[in-house]
Chains A and B, each alone.
Chain A
């Protein structure tokens, strides 16, 4: 991204709910994040983590009990939704059932008071963009789920908002349709140049579509970064666990310098592990290693040793479950090469080789 102008800047936003006679509940707890212009930004997390709350705060359907929501430098937290140049694609689509597809798409422009000619032109443009031209006079109850999704998109894009918010828009679609729509959405974002803020609980979706991801849990943002950053360099346990499969090994730091440390693992050996620059590692830590960054080998050659408990065949690769010397479970994921492969017997002693530079130290 060449221009790094900030579109949405959330500063210390909190949303606390206080029911009478009960403890206050923080749906959002002091959240800060900067979302850049023309970015496909994803809020990722399990249900209840606050991602939808944050989206609603940006859209205007809820207000922060503390903090600011800045849109290009202006605090929009006090503005009602109809005064914010921000549009939303709802999870349930929320298409107006008594209007046709074309009327739905043109609604925002109508509310803005644009002249009819301009509205018609823009609606035609949008219909073409989402490829719904033949349906334009249909009532929204007469089209399929996938088509409704596209109309919802077109409707939200028509008024040329500064930011588009998408609240788990693909969750109601079946697998194939969802995959198609993911590509479609990515294409739309690049073509229109509008900042997309996308909410999902599906980590695969987040990894494939996003420029940057914010992983959330229990009302807080745990880590923000590119899909690579999030996957290869998880900062905290939750992120490592939520995204993909991970192996967790406990150990104690023996020496540490400029982001590289040597950690003595409880299961035996000492290995090299990296951490964020500037973060000095010390004391007891957890090291994470991705299953695909390890390989099975002869017991003598591996950095880690253990007993092979199970091998699960997945077609493209095989998952080997190894029980290490101190009882910790470790999973190795290896691609199946065609033809003869070194077979490891269940119950045999095996070694695990860790790819260089892939072990990470968690912050917590």
Chain B
């Protein structure tokens, strides 16, 4: 590729580059090894498992079968061995998508004003707001969800208060309902929406807002036509950061759903637990993964950068 021979200095530089490249690869090796062997290979494994037969007591029998995928949509009639359309799993997936979407929208409606408010505080105040939002973000999810459970139980704080003030005479059932799960999801993921939005809004050039007012726009118009479009990267990032984990959520429906309103996460866990159908669970996991990948694909087309949780 080179037309002329390299000068001695150029040769030394080239050798140096090779050494640095070798060293960089070596340095990355431990992390790559760990994540590949114990992160990637297990995922490959369940891909394989989804095409095997289940073993009675859990685990698999190494025989090829597409039963798992069939079972996702159909059930074999035990009498005449025909396939019947069984929408049970589809319903659960549908419900999860619905919950996740709803949660995302509500988080957006609550989170955008919050992030905007934070971004427009004076700099010293801003840091405190970020700390306040960050703390729930990183606190133990189980504990936080249990805290909600305590509050909305029949014997919980809200019902106690309402009965004490004679607003109602019997406790309202809030736990183990749709409402409880969505509340749990909202509570878990609200910071996931606020922080990326804040990041995006903080970098915004408010002179553009000034220009909008200068041109006779009302506050609402400025919001709609200048601020929101400029914050789009943050909106997209935040929405994905809420939607994807919400879709595969496990803890909130487990604690607050009581096994009555399953989401995908619990469904999969069940197959590996009492359901004793690992191939089915693997297939369900892969279908969830496919949904996540689709969402991620739309995200990368938006060119907003890598997905991060922190």
Listed in ascending order, the chain A residues whose CB lies under 8 Å from chain B are 63-67, 75, 77-78
A-B contact pairs, 5 of them (CB 8 A): A63-B9, A64-B9, A65-B10, A66-B4, A66-B7
List chain B residues, Cβ under 8 A from A64: 7, 9-10
Closest chain-A Cβ to B93's Cβ sits at a distance in Å of 46
SS of A interface (majority): loop
Closest chain-B Cβ to A59's Cβ sits at a distance in Å of 13
List chain A residues, Cβ under 8 A from B6: 65
B13 at the interface (CB under 8 A from A): yes
Binary interface encoding of chain B residues 264-281 relative to chain A, with 1 for a CB under 8 A from any of its CBs, else 0? 000000000000000000
Closest chain-A Cβ to B13's Cβ sits at a distance in Å of 5
Docked Cα-Cα span, A65 to B11, in Å, equals: 9
B8 at the interface (CB under 8 A from A): yes
Binary interface encoding of chain B residues 183-227 relative to chain A, with 1 for a CB under 8 A from any of its CBs, else 0? 000000000000000000000000000000000000000000000
Docked Cα-Cα span, A289 to B90, in Å, equals: 89
Closest chain-B Cβ to A38's Cβ sits at a distance in Å of 27
Q: Within residues 1 to 37 of chain B, which ones have a CB less than 8 A from any CB in chain A?
A: 4, 6-10, 12-13
List chain A residues, Cβ under 8 A from B12: 63, 78
Docked Cα-Cα span, A75 to B13, in Å, equals: 15
Closest chain-B Cβ to A258's Cβ sits at a distance in Å of 41
Docked Cα-Cα span, A63 to B10, in Å, equals: 6
Docked Cα-Cα span, A67 to B8, in Å, equals: 9
Closest 9 CB pairs of A and B: A77-B9, A63-B9, A63-B13, A78-B12, A78-B9, A78-B8, A66-B7, A65-B10, A64-B9
Question: Of B7, B12, B13, which is in contact with the most chain A CB atoms at under 10 Å from its CB?
Answer: B7
Docked Cα-Cα span, A67 to B9, in Å, equals: 9
Closest chain-A Cβ to B203's Cβ sits at a distance in Å of 24
Docked Cα-Cα span, A67 to B10, in Å, equals: 10
Binary interface encoding of chain B residues 43-78 relative to chain A, with 1 for a CB under 8 A from any of its CBs, else 0? 000000000000000000000000000000000000
List chain B residues, Cβ under 8 A from A77: 7-9
List chain B residues, Cβ under 8 A from A66: 4, 7
In the complex formed, the residue of A with least CB distance to B16 is A80
In the complex formed, the residue of A with least CB distance to B6 is A65
List chain A residues, Cβ under 8 A from B9: 63-64, 77-78
